Chains A and B, each alone.
Chain A
Amino acid sequence: MTYLQKSNRPRSSSYARVLIFVVLFFIVVGGFRMVFPSFFSTIFQYIGRPLWVTRDYFGSDIERISGFITSRTAIVTENKQLKAAAENDRLKLLTLNTLKDENVFLKQQLGREDALKNKVALGAVLTKTPQTFYDTLIVDVGSDVNIHVDDLVLAGENAVIGKISVVYPHTVQVKLFSTGGEETQAFLEHDNVSVTVVGKGGGNFEIHVPQGVSVNKGDTVLLPGVLSQILGTVMDIETDPINSFQNVLVKSPVNTNQIRFVTIEKTGL
């Protein structure tokens, strides 16, 4: 009877192989990242962009189809609520438009037309929270439309949500002001107090102000500048008698989970 001869060579354990793989991975990728910091990111963005665009295209079709199976009573109720909300908003808008015209006129009179002439680019949001863990957005415009790092990103006309963090050829990554630990200089509109707003994730911020400063719920937090861009509104104030500071909780007016379009204020040339 013949037997297979046993090999004397020791088998390397899978644990050792995995450990070697992980160490080599970090050395190779880390080294590569030092030389070409955004090489892999650019490649993955190239792969991701058509996938996200396709998802959004079919996503809107699915929404339309799901509309057919919604109950009629629910639609009628929602319609009534929306009409009431729209009427309320229309009345508010009348006042707002008057004030806006007045604001533009005053800026022109006082020689600040430059503030009104910011170039903007419209972008569709490809990925947003909760898909991303880092409180970032990916928007479908890139260096092809002359966007630069640190350009301001707005939702709607006046609500600032973040800054451009990385620019790829056809996409940009937006770092939200609410990203955990992110510090932004702003001021409380109520008393024009300069504050440092610290991001807490998910559109939430925190401000520490001395006890003597008057802060009320609903106060607006604005970015410095003549345009009065809104960063958030005060939702809650926590005071502790033994603490000389009060903790102000601020919420962004925009829900970044539902955002579809953003405008990017191009500050570069």
Chain B
Amino acid sequence: MKKNNKIVLRILSDFTLLVIVFYLPWWIFIPFTLLAAFVFDAYYELVLAGYMFDSLYGLPTRSFFSLGMFYTLYSALLLVLSTYLKQIFSFDSRR
């Protein structure tokens, strides 16, 4: 994929993330980010969107160890894990 196309796709993906955070049901965030994390390199926006989600709706509840940061933790973990997996399974020596 050309670099310019990839940037346009990434911007569109960022916009979709914002729409998900503000408008769509919470569970759509999970499959979308699972896909995006593996499509884009070092998708940092993921963690920011997760944090935005938690800041808007999150509450410290007993169900999540009184953290209220489920999405931030999930996004950070997904970002780290996807980058690690991509590095392991990539044949590109520059990574």
**Do A and B form a real pair?**
yes
| A interface, CB within 8 angstroms of B | 11, 13-15, 17-19, 21-22, 25-26, 29, 40-41, 44-45, 48, 51-52, 55, 127, 130-136, 138, 165, 173, 175, 179-182
User: A210–B86 Cα gap in the complex (Å)?
Assistant: 55
Q: Kindly list chain A residues whose C-beta atoms are within 8 Å of the C-beta of B22.
A: 48, 51-52
Interface size class of B (residues with CB under 8 A): 20 to 34
User: A14–B95 Cα gap in the complex (Å)?
Assistant: 7
Say how far B59's CB is from chain A's closest CB, in angstroms. Answer: 5
Interface contact B27-A134, CB-CB below 8 Å? no
* Nearest opposing residue in chain B for A179, CB measure: B61
Say how far B14's CB is from chain A's closest CB, in angstroms. Answer: 15
Interface residues of B in 58-86 (CB under 8 A from A): 58-59, 61-63, 68, 70-72, 76, 79-80, 83-84, 86
Interface contact B87-A15, CB-CB below 8 Å? yes
Interface contact A22-B61, CB-CB below 8 Å? no
Residue among A29, A51, A132, A182 making CB contact with B57, cutoff 8 Å: A132
Interface contact B59-A131, CB-CB below 8 Å? no
Name the residue in A22, A130, A134 with the highest tally of chain B Cβ atoms < 10 Å from its Cβ. A134
Interface contact A14-B27, CB-CB below 8 Å? no
Say how far A136's CB is from chain B's closest CB, in angstroms. Answer: 5
* A22-B80, A133-B71 known, 16 other contacts, Cβ within 8 Å: A14-B87, A14-B95, A15-B80, A18-B83, A25-B51, A44-B55, A51-B22, A131-B24, A131-B26, A132-B57, A133-B26, A134-B57, A134-B59, A173-B57, A175-B59, A181-B61
